Amino acid sequence: MKANAKLMASAGIKLLMGLVLVGLLIFLPAGTIHFFNGWLLVAVLFVPMLIAGVVMALRSPELLKKRLNAKEKEDEQKSVVAMSGIMFVASFVVAGLDFRYTWTAMPSWMVWSATALFLLSYIMYAEVMRENTYLSRTIEVQENQKVVDTGLYGIVRHPMYSATVLMFLFMPLVLGSLPSFVIMLAYIPLIIKRIKNEEAVLLRGLDGYADYCRKVRYRIIPFIY
């Protein structure tokens, strides 16, 4: 019980820190807190995150513990994480500046469509976590890990990354910023770099993964990649 309470406290602190950081990155450049799209993104990003954290804490604390561990062991992944961080900071700051100086204008139907698709991507993300209890934020082969090849994993090898690509590309559209969207496109080559390194690690250390790769040909997008 004490361990779970400590885990939930750690998750709560990280959630709060993330909320504050994202808020600062968006609203400071915007020059105001009266930025509706900024609050919309905060809501659709952090409310589901809070719900998912509580569910994991109650049903699968080990999975929550893995998701909180963000310290990469692979040097190549460290560079991907660093570049992703720079991309996120730039994207959010530019979205705030875009609102402040009205560089671009996006129709409301596009913003709300992006919001709906973002939430659907979040549902996909949650389904992947339900299917694969070995999910970790770091690249590693875990003790007694087995290949998961059912559900979404029977369609693509990395459905988690499929979901995150969609989520990250919809974020700037929720914010109503085309320049921010262009910056976030950098996530595509970064995730490809991450996948190549991850698969090399799994091929070396996870029994059955080579057969799985032959069975499921596509990594994140069926019939494309």
Residue 220 lies in a domain: no
Residue type, 138: T
CATH of the domain at 183: 1.20.120.1630
**pLDDT given for residue 77 in this prediction:** 75
Which letter does DSSP use for residue 35 in this model?
-
**pLDDT given for residue 6 in this prediction:** 75
Range of the domain at 61: 2-215
Mean pLDDT of 200-221: 91
Residue 223 lies in a domain: no
Residue 13 lies in a domain: yes
Give 114's pLDDT tier (boundaries 50, 70, 90): very high
Give the pTM: 0.87
Q: Is 167 helix (H, G, I), strand (E, B) or coil?
A: helix
At 168-185, the pLDDT tens digits run: 999 999 999 999 999 999
Residue 221 lies in a domain: no
Residue 23 lies in a domain: yes
Residue 115 lies in a domain: yes
Residue 225 lies in a domain: no
Alpha-carbon separation of residue 83 from 89, 90, 129, 137, 201 (angstroms): 10, 11, 25, 16, 21
Residue 78 lies in a domain: yes
Domain count, the chain: 1
Alpha-carbon separation of residue 44 from 33, 47, 145 (angstroms): 17, 6, 32
CB 96 within 8 A of CB 28: yes
Q: State yes or no: pLDDT of 69 exceeds 70.
A: no
